[in-house]
């Protein structure tokens, strides 16, 4: 059940553990099925998410929805969360201190949801899961196994907007999910 997840979300709503607590409009906790088999981890909320309170509801979210289509899932089947729960001003990169302050929420989300497959979207979440020296282009498309999880590093959906040459590799990860 999701009671503990709901309780954590309520606690997170008043989080002021880093400076982003003062600049956010809305804390973006995560969304989807609280007992999902597949969990996606993005980077941080953007402007739309900061306004709307849900992950991936802007331009990058359209590519994530297409990815889900290819993989044969709806948003209600999966769970989506971010490394940072609050928007960095002007969508700048998350800072190490912010990740440090925020990560206990994500660790609890992973433990409570207990996914079988974790898809890391982009460099920040991939490094958070696989280690700080990980290079996204070197691991994208590979399958890793850690504890009870399959880890699938993937380009960030926003990267497809700026560089269409990454598109095939991005959607190939969606096809790989079916093999697991
Ligand atoms: N980019 C992310 O990494 N996460 C979101 O929720 C939106 C855009």
Average pLDDT over residues 25-53: 98
Report how far ligand 1's centroid is from the alpha carbon of 162 (Å).
Answer: 15
Give all strands (DSSP E) within the chain, no chain letters. 31-32, 38-42, 79-82, 117-121, 144-146, 149-154
- pLDDT 10s digits, 55-101: 999 999 999 999 999 999 999 999 999 999 999 999 999 999 999 99
What's the confidence (pLDDT) of residue 91?
94
Cβ-contact 66, 18 below 8 angstroms: no
Report how far ligand 1's centroid is from the alpha carbon of 165 (Å).
Answer: 20
Q: Which atom of ligand 1 is nearest to the CA of 83?
A: 3
CB atoms within 10 A of CB 131: 8
**Which residue's CA is minimally distant from atom 6 of ligand 1?**
55
What's the confidence (pLDDT) of residue 179?
87
* Percent of the chain residues topping a pLDDT of 90: 95
What's the confidence (pLDDT) of residue 30?
98
CB atoms within 10 A of CB 168: 10
Angle, alpha carbons 137-42-62 (nearest 5°)? 95
Burial class (CB in 10 A: 0-12, 13-18, 19+), 169: middle
How confident is residue 128, by pLDDT bands cut at 50, 70 and 90? very high
How confident is residue 178, by pLDDT bands cut at 50, 70 and 90? confident
Average pLDDT over residues 155-161: 96
Residues with CB under 6 A from ligand 1: 42-46, 49, 55-56, 60, 82
Residue 1 has pLDDT above 60, yes or no: no
Mean pLDDT for all residues in the chain: 96
Residue 112 has pLDDT above 50, yes or no: yes
Report how far ligand 1's centroid is from the alpha carbon of 7 (Å).
Answer: 23
What's the confidence (pLDDT) of residue 86?
98
Residue 2 has pLDDT above 70, yes or no: no
How confident is residue 3, by pLDDT bands cut at 50, 70 and 90? low
Report how far ligand 1's centroid is from the alpha carbon of 114 (Å).
Answer: 21
């Amino acid at each position: 059940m999701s009671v503990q997840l709901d309780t954590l979300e309520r606690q997170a709503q008043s989080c002021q553990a880093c400076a982003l607590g003062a600049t956010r409009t809305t804390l973006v906790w995560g969304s989807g099925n609280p007992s999902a088999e597949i969990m996606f981890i993005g980077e941080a909320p953007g402007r739309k998410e900061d306004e709307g309170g849900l992950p991936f509801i802007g331009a990058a979210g359209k590519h994530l929805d297409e990815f889900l289509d290819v993989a044969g899932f709806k948003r209600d089947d999966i769970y989506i969360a971010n490394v940072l729960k609050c928007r960095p001003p002007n969508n700048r990169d998350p800072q190490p201190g912010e990740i440090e302050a925020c990560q206990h929420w994500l660790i609890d989300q992973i433990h409570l949801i207990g996914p079988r497959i974790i898809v890391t979207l982009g460099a920040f979440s991939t490094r958070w899961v696989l280690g700080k020296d990980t290079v996204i282009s070197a691991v994208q498309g590979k399958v890793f196994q850690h504890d009870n999880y399959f880890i699938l590093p993937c380009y960030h959906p926003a990267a497809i907007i700026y560089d269409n040459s990454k598109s095939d590799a991005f959607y190939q990860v969606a096809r790989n999910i079916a093999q697991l």
